[in-house]
Structure 1
């Protein structure tokens, strides 16, 4: 698929590390101009320095919970590259704990970043793509947890369930503008966030492996490949939630061990 995104411009929110960084790197390797975003300009700059490609990269500080900040990011993107063709809503956080102990601030923080931030980004991108009149691809990074309940993750799972239905609603509303809106809902992926969860709550990695039909954690590259496929636009898909989860949801419940 090399060069499949030549002359396209992509924004990836929360792309200074983890899955977002992998997505930015993959899109750039396919020829897209890529805006690398973080709440910290220093982290965005450092991420750009790490990406090896011949595409143009632009680091921009912006907070996804601030719609005006995202509008400014979009305006700078268009001023620099002339268009906005791909927008990936990747920024996300997780706060864990028993539901009865989650504070209002903790709940609101997760909803603000994961759900409202995704809506703000999609709205800003959608308006720009509508004005351009050339269509586009909006890709929301959700989670397989948006399809199920889980102890200690009520704010996160709820926010990702909202992202899934937001994806379907926007896909329907913007189909007439040839704007495809889809989501990627990964399972357990080897990232710093998973490492942090292991440190905080001490889940057993072997339990996850045993619960996953493919028998391992996924990789950032595998998630980024799914995003690149959707971004290339050579498909008849909108309103879809793709699950690179190693078969977790298909398995229902149980363990291979």
Structure 2
């Protein structure tokens, strides 16, 4: 037996240790699950549908939006606390639902009729459910590859919607616009990076660098590109997605050539869209 051990250890190069697989948390029982999460999302949709009432002014709609965000957050806090989700007090569990509620409420104010408003609220409910389901499954040790897609999809859609809403607002000065872009990119990036590292400081620093890069790009494109807000919002969202994707996989120690190609493709698309806008010199689309 000693000879077998010696021969097996001799196959490893000197100074190199065997790579240990990352331990996965064992699945745990759920006290409150998808039924509670579905009920919470349905209540959020029901409350949001009342925002289109003619008796509410835009200021009152924003006040109701703040109340809905607080109620939804408290409901999610109760869900994660009851299930004893690891790090249930971390902000990354509650960032996406709040951003989704703000985006849906802003669209409801701009919606020309009730059908668009209802679609925005139904989408809000679906995204709240998907975001909460990903966090719940991850906390219970039941994470699947599809959950990362759901996390990225909900975060990206909320980010894109908020970028568009911020940039198309003509009443806001540029300082407020760029500050809002920075905050949205910072919070969205922090949520993504928390999936790759448990260190709060590292996740916050990575999100800060990502948000600063996106805000700098927003300043340059708003200043020098003669394009509409939807065009700039798409470029900024793609740039954010490429930057945070590469950083997430770098922190997760899973960066490979395939991943670099996939996220690098989004960066190439951003460069192409910027070059196209500079060459044409007129609004596209």
- TM-score w.r.t. length of structure 1: 0.28
- TM-score w.r.t. length of structure 2: 0.26
Higher helix share: 2
Structure index of larger Rg:
2
Select the structure with the greater relative contact order (CA < 8 A; seq sep ≥ 6).
1
